[in-house]
Chains A and B, each alone.
Chain A
Amino acid sequence: MSVVEVTGLVKRYRELVALDNFNLTIEQGEIFGLLGPNGSGKTTAINCILQLLTYDKGEISLFGEPMSPTRYDLKRRIGIVPQNVAVFSQLNVTENIDYFCSLYITDKKTRAVLVEEAIEFVGLQEYRRFRPRKLSGGLMRRLNIACGIAHKPELIIFDEPTVAVDPQSRNAILEGIQRLNAEGSTVIYTSHYMEEVEQICTRIMIMDRGQALATGTNTELKSMVGVNERIEVELAEADEQALQVVRNLPHTASAVLDGNTLRITCSQGSHNLTDTLSALQSAEVAYGRVYSEPPTLNDVFLEITGKELRD
């Protein structure tokens, strides 16, 4: 069953088209990554799905049923972790989680158990009585997450949850999302950090200018474009013969000599690195260090749009 089904969504801010005939299908159990640069329409799409924003055209269904602002039964099944930390600065950690849980769960005893589980899940046990201003940026983000997941939603939307977070907290957050998914929640994860999306998402949509440019698994997306591995070889000395040897290899898409460094971009294929090094050894070209970089989602984005993801 599709947990989220968006068809032909159009959202305009006066002259600006924020979502242009946007389509999205997310299946149960997925960690779905919405990847795109700032202003690409990720948050707008999320806010339309949640019915916070009006839209000009399109249909939105959640859990197989049409979504509207008054579908409180559907809202009960959704958890949101917004981009900006949205908690009460006047309440402590426990009070905040308890309040946001109360938006979905009325029974006090049930809530007490859920709040405790959420605190443990995000590792805030030692900070129960702390008010947000006394928490570090990473801990604050964890509180933000706890407030969104305490009621055990079936669909959790994480809108750029790792912005301005230290690497340690970032890893903790990403691991937590994977655990939530393993426990049965479907996850929508928006980010402009491609590494994160690559790391945790089972399926990814690349967005730009309100349009879905490509959708698929990590591997599927990379296979959509012609570029593949990038190889850099430091030569003992600048050698035109070495350049020619490499250019003659079948997997070489392009090759340039930059000082003593030979830069090679490979087309689709496997064993590119070993084939390149074998050819250089056969030609008796002396070389030192070798770097190999696999293709990234940025390469995909670059290929599709002609610009970097983090423009």
Chain B
Amino acid sequence: MPATKTAPPAKQTVSHAQSHPLLSLWNAYYESTSTRLKTIDAFLVFLVLSGVIQFLYCILVSNFPFNAFLAGCVGQFVLAASLRAQVNPANRSEFKEVSPERAFADFALGSIVLHFFVYNFLG
């Protein structure tokens, strides 16, 4: 299976290896990830938070405009995640035909289409 070779930087941080696994995960992530990916990740975290809030609202208060709930941010999340997968240098071998620029263009296109439908749905 490809895309499993990003481990080496994590191994170098020996000092953290024995500590809490989550911490080591964080460290590994922090050090081995480029700023670009971090930007994406920040975006993802925002989307997750937004989604969680909406989901809670749906459960706790009202799901009456059901369509509005569905039009939420899951779509944007997976698109961003896709972008992340594509631009992640670790996955270069998988996406031979997709350059990061191309990936971003695809992402933008997909998002615009998505937003088009979201707003169509809201109205």
Binding between chains A and B: no
Show the binding face of A for B, using Cβ within 8 Å: none
Show the binding face of B for A, using Cβ within 8 Å: none
